[in-house]
Amino acid sequence: MNTHSSSNWTFITGGARSGKSRYAQELAEALSPNPVYVATARRWDEDFEQRIRRHQADRHNGWQTIEIDKNLASIEQKNQPIIIDCITLWLTNLFVDNGYDLELCLAEAKREIDQLKVTPGCYFIVSNELGMGLHAETETGRKFTDLQGWVNQYIAARSENVVLMVSGIPLVVKSTKLRKA
């Protein structure tokens, strides 16, 4: 039986340090003592390792962390709420692997998102509003900002709930059924 659609997405976007990850974690922890955390970061260097470790320390021990750099639909734990953190780093991986080609990368991102949407599960998807920040200095940077914007729109259109984080406060932009944190 279905009380809900079998796929339920909450898209959480906002600026850097706006509290996106923390809010996503609160929502997931309300639904389960052991949610799944999907880290999309590739471990680029030692500084990045440090950041990953700090993020891990923020999550209590009930969390299961898995690392997926590209194929999001390959997540197997469908019985738990899942956080994908974050779309920006995931896109970085796709962008690099597609030789910084905007069109190719956008097409692959859409394919991956479509595939994820047909997998049942409860997802909290974290992204960034890069377009609200400073104008990128390089051509590649500007292309990436565009890519991020297109992909955010693509995910938000397919999400049941969309939340914009503003200075640590969730602003509900779109809601079919959002539980209060």
Partner 1 sequence: MSTVATLLQEKINNKTKPLGSLGELERIALQAGIIQDSIHPVINRPTIVVFAGDHGISETGLVNPFPQSITGQMVYNFIRGGAAINVFCRQNGIDLKVVDAGVKGDFSDIISHPQFISAKINHGTRNYLEEAAMTFEETERAIGYGRSIVEHLVAEGSNCMGFGEMGIGNTSSASLLMAAITHTPLEKCVGKGTGADEKQLATKKATLEAVFEKHRNVISLQSPIKTLQYLGGYEIAMMVGAYLAAAEHKVIIVVDGFISTAALLVAHAMQPSVLNNCLFAHASGEQGHQRMLHYLNAKPLLNLGLRLGEGTGAALAMPLLYAAVNFVNEMASFEDAGVSRQ
Q: Which residues are catalytic, by number?
A: 55
> For tokens 């409860």, what's the residue?
122
At 118, phi and psi to the nearest 5?
-85, 0
60 sits near partner 1 (criterion: CB under 8 A):
yes
The amino acid at residue 163 is V
Looking at the Cβ atoms of 50 and 79, the one nearer to partner 1 is 79
162 sits near partner 1 (criterion: CB under 8 A):
no
CA distance 146 to 130: 9
- Closest by CA to 89, choosing from 54, 51, 57, is 51
Choices 12-20, 29-37, 103-111, 132-140 (CB under 8 A): range interacting with partner 1: 29-37
**Helix boundaries (H) for the chain:** 20-31, 46-58, 87-97, 102-117, 139-158
64 sits near partner 1 (criterion: CB under 8 A):
no
118 sits near partner 1 (criterion: CB under 8 A):
no
Looking at the Cβ atoms of 86 and 122, the one nearer to partner 1 is 122
Tokens for 80? 């738990």
Choices 15-23, 51-59, 77-85, 109-117 (CB under 8 A): range interacting with partner 1: 77-85
76 sits near partner 1 (criterion: CB under 8 A):
no
81 sits near partner 1 (criterion: CB under 8 A):
yes
> For tokens 């259109």, what's the residue?
157
Q: Which residues bind partner 1 (CB under 8 A)?
A: 1-4, 6, 8, 29-34, 60, 62, 78-81, 120-122, 160, 177, 179
